Amino acid sequence: MYFDPSETAIVSIDMHEGHLSESPDCPCPAPRGRQVIDAINDFHREARGLGIPVIHVVSALRPSGIDDVRGTPAAWRITMPEYFGPIPGANEHGLEGTEWTNLRTEVDPRDEFVRTKRRLSAFYPTDLDFLLRQMGVKTIVFTGINADCCVLNSAFEASNMNYRVLVPRDVVAGTEPDLEEAGLSIISLFLGLVVDSRGLLDTWRASIGMKSDSAMV
């Protein structure tokens, strides 16, 4: 029931410059995410070839900042500096019209976009659920960052709304290795299946009568 490609979509979370830029001005650095850009691009490219849609979810705030820093600030703005120290430029994170909302992963004309993520879940306060149901999706494959934060939050919401959840461990990254492993453990225990992207692609190919990638080499 988890592996029907005709009922599946990939939801890629927060693979944008606000987290991934090498600039010292990066407003919310998630440098481990840069390590999975190529793997995500490869996975998305092969999934598209199997007819599986890709949805890019981007954290974006109104230019005024009223959604966050000039309204009620998101909790992470208070808690993360306690953990990591001051985050210079954090007030610029996610502002529409800035470079920080530009995607670092490849985009295809067939892809869909959700650009209204204001907090930690891809579902809040966005129309992602509406889009998925319009597409007939029952299984969500999450890629992106962070496995212990926005991917985990989104997996909880997806599971609570009765979507089947898959997370390929090699196309997500966590804040730190131990937090990544903790996030994936929570997902695999309560929310869905943690898998390998190559094995998932082979399973999809087999379900539609194609040879596996390993068999084609």
pLDDT at 159: 99
- Six-digit token string for 199: 């094995």
Answer for the pair 213, 202: CB distance below 8 angstroms, yes or no: yes
Coarse DSSP helix, strand, coil percentages of the chain, rounded to the nearest 5 percent: 40, 20, 40
pLDDT tens, residue by residue, 89-122? 899 999 999 999 999 999 999 999 999 999 999 9
Q: What is the DSSP letter of 176?
A: S
CATH number of the domain at 172, please: 3.40.50.850
Cα–Cα distance list, 43 to 39, 196, 199 (Å): 6, 11, 11
Q: Give the pLDDT band of residue 210 (cuts 50, 70, 90).
A: confident
Cα–Cα distance list, 80 to 24, 30, 50, 83 (Å): 17, 12, 39, 5
- Number of domains into which the chain is organized: 1
pLDDT at 215: 45
Q: Give the pLDDT band of residue 213 (cuts 50, 70, 90).
A: low
In DSSP notation, 28-91 reads S--GGGGGGHHHHHHHHHHHHHTT--EEEEEE-B-TT-TTTTTSS--THHHHHHHHH---TTGG
> How many other CB atoms sit within 10 Å of the CB of residue 63?
11
Q: Which range of residues forms the domain containing residue 19?
A: 5-216
d(CA 163, CA 78): 31
pLDDT tens, residue by residue, 161-177? 999 999 999 999 999 99
Which residues fall within 8 angstroms of residue 133, CB to CB, at 6 or more apart? none
Query: pTM of the prediction?
Result: 0.95
Residue 145, phi then psi, degrees to nearest 5? -140, 160
pLDDT at 192: 99
pLDDT at 60: 96
Q: Give the three-class secondary structure for 206.
A: helix
The dihedral of CA 176, 101, 164, 149: what is its sign?
A: positive
